[in-house]
Amino acid sequence: MSEKYDVIVIGSGPAGYVAAIRAAQLGLKTACVEKWSDDKGKVVNGGTCLNVGCIPSKALLDSSHRYHDAHDGFENHGISTGELSIDVPAMIQRKEKIVAQMSGGITGLFKANKVASIFGYGKLLAGKKVEVTDKDGNVTVYDADNVVIATGSVPINIPVASVNPEENTIIVDSTGALEFQEVPKRLGIIGAGVIGLELGSVWARLGSEVVCLEAMDTFLAMMDQQIAKETKKIFTKQGLDIRLSSMVTGSEVKGNEVEVTFNDKEGNEQKETFDKLIVCVGRRPFTQGLFSDDAGVQLDERGFVKVDDNCATDVAGVWAVGDVVRGPMLAHKGSEEGVVVAERIAGQKAMMNYDTIPNVIYTHPEVASVGKTEEQLKAEGVEVNIGTFPFLAIGRAVAADSQDGMVKMIADAKTDRILGCHIVGPSASDLVQQIVIAMEFGSTAEDIGMTVFGHPTFSEAVKEAALSVHGHAIHMPNRKKRK
């Protein structure tokens, strides 16, 4: 008879591994099934985030930022370096070492918490049975009281620029773009979203001429548009060529290059030739081969596993978390869902606040937001007061040569409660977290304005934006009104 578990998690990305660890911490007998393996056939935990997503992209963003700073930023400080060079294979190797270290860390955490790590392809059968097929085709069926689906997402492939990683290293997805062994002279990117901007920045900093072809006529359409416009100005100044309303109609690999055909803003057909083309037009939930016909779990019209507010599926005892369910495809959103589900399985009343999930683009400067945008609140008819503050009036930002960008704070006009905060600027990822906490505690803009912030810090821009909601900012250049 096969082994029985209290909880079996399918998928070991940030949603799945966190669910598994939390369940084990709560005394539940837990296993985590993962299909990813290395060339030696050893299970690789950590999912997209650790292996081909958050962590490797940030490793390359960091390396390329250092190179770019040394190339363009040091002279101003009186530092000269002589001839600079970049060893791309060494940079990629460093990234791989970091990935291996982090992924090994998850395996270590599994051991420490007594989570059984099972290698193989998981399939949910009726009656909360999980069938696992290993690399050699051996099948084992496990029983569980609870199953947590955490199978994540994969890149969307478009027929006009199809990615086939086996055959082609010229048209690539985000995974291929983390593997380049030299700096492409001309780099095309389809989709000026989060991945396009982060990976576009990596290779632009190292010397690529980068063209982003974006189908929409609005840049970062989901973001607060005042911040999006400011961001586009900064990126354009950095050399990213962002072409909106550009609809790609075809691509052809010719030798070592790819010719991309697209319709421009005016509807005229254009052609551009690139050394590499990254396709990053979004991701889709991954549920291939995951359910037997009688498993009973429903998908929604977009292919996501259907869940309620607490990540329960239509089948009692079967849950789903992370990219495979509705909501933003973010590692921290999935991890938090994993915790909530583990605690609910253990009989606790955990829940998650989806209104305060931070969103960050790790470019330089970073772009970060939490809560609603001005456009969303206007559409909902909510009356708001808005405060903005530029980093160029913040001493620490000027001292650090990081004065591009601004903080925008939006508060309810009646209650002064903070409804959203949107930032483009230095350390935006950390600054926004202050407002995530503030919103969790129901803070007003006045609360933030009355809080003492250390000087000199970038975070003073957050305080000044909060003061500016009521026209009280102290260091505001070009003050228009004072109350």
Catalytic residues: 455
Question: What is the rounded CA–CA span in Å between residue 128 and residue 344?
Answer: 17
> Bridge-partner residues for 423, per DSSP?
368, 407
| Cβ at position 414, least distance to ligand NAD in Å | 33
Q: Let me know: does 68 contact 19? Beta carbons within 8 Å.
A: no
| Cβ at position 271, least distance to ligand NAD in Å | 15
Q: Is 344 exposed, middle or buried (0-12, 13-18, 19+ CB in 10 A)?
A: middle
| The pairing of beta strand 406-412 with beta strand 384-390 | antiparallel
Q: With CB cut-offs between 5 and 8 Å by kind, which of ligand FAD, ligand NAD, none does residue 32 bind?
A: none
290 sits near ligand FAD (criterion: CB under 6 A): yes
Binds ligand FAD by CB under 6 A, chosen from 257, 323, 366, 374: 323
Q: Which stretch binds ligand NAD (CB under 6 A): 6-14, 101-109, 137-145, 276-284?
A: 276-284
| Cβ at position 66, least distance to ligand NAD in Å | 19
Question: What is the rounded CA–CA span in Å between residue 258 and residue 315?
Answer: 47
- Range 147-166, binding ligand NAD (CB under 6 A): 158
Binds ligand FAD by CB under 6 A, chosen from 30, 103, 174, 313: 174
250 sits near ligand NAD (criterion: CB under 6 A): no
Q: Where are the alpha helices (DSSP H) in 150-216?
A: 174-177, 194-205
10 sits near ligand FAD (criterion: CB under 6 A): yes
33 sits near ligand FAD (criterion: CB under 6 A): yes
Amino acid at 236: T
| Cβ at position 414, least distance to ligand FAD in Å | 33
| Cβ at position 400, least distance to ligand FAD in Å | 23
When the beta carbons of 320 and 469 are compared against ligand FAD, the nearer one is 320
Q: With CB cut-offs between 5 and 8 Å by kind, which of ligand NAD, ligand FAD, none does residue 214 bind?
A: ligand NAD
* Three-state SS at 32: strand
b/e sequence 18-28, b meaning 16+ C-beta within 10 Å: bbbbbbbbbeb
Question: What is the rounded CA–CA span in Å between residue 1 and residue 416?
Answer: 61
Radius of gyration of the chain (CA): 24
223 sits near ligand FAD (criterion: CB under 6 A): no
189 sits near ligand NAD (criterion: CB under 6 A): no
Binds ligand NAD by CB under 6 A, chosen from 11, 122, 193, 387: 193
When the beta carbons of 282 and 395 are compared against ligand FAD, the nearer one is 282
When the beta carbons of 71 and 332 are compared against ligand FAD, the nearer one is 332
Contact track, ligand FAD, 175-204, x by CB under 6 A: --------------------x---------
DSSP designation for 260: E
When the beta carbons of 134 and 447 are compared against ligand FAD, the nearer one is 134
Overall residue count recorded for the chain in this entry: 483
Binds ligand NAD by CB under 6 A, chosen from 50, 329, 431, 448: 329
What are 158's two structure tokens?
């478009």
* Three-state SS at 169: coil
* Three-state SS at 64: helix
* Three-state SS at 119: strand
Amino acid at 472: H
Output the CA torsion sign for 300, 304, 305, 311: negative
> Bridge-partner residues for 254, per DSSP?
257
Binds ligand NAD by CB under 6 A, chosen from 108, 250, 328, 442: 328
CA 425 from chain centre, in angstroms, equals 18
422 sits near ligand NAD (criterion: CB under 6 A): no
Q: In Å, how far are 150, 278, 287, 290 from 298, measured between CA atoms?
A: 15, 33, 11, 12
The contact set with ligand FAD (CB under 6 A) reads 10-16, 33-36, 47-49, 53-54, 57, 121-122, 150-153, 174, 195, 286, 290, 322-324, 329-332, 334, 362
The contact set with ligand NAD (CB under 6 A) reads 158, 190-196, 198, 213-216, 248, 280-283, 328-330, 360-362
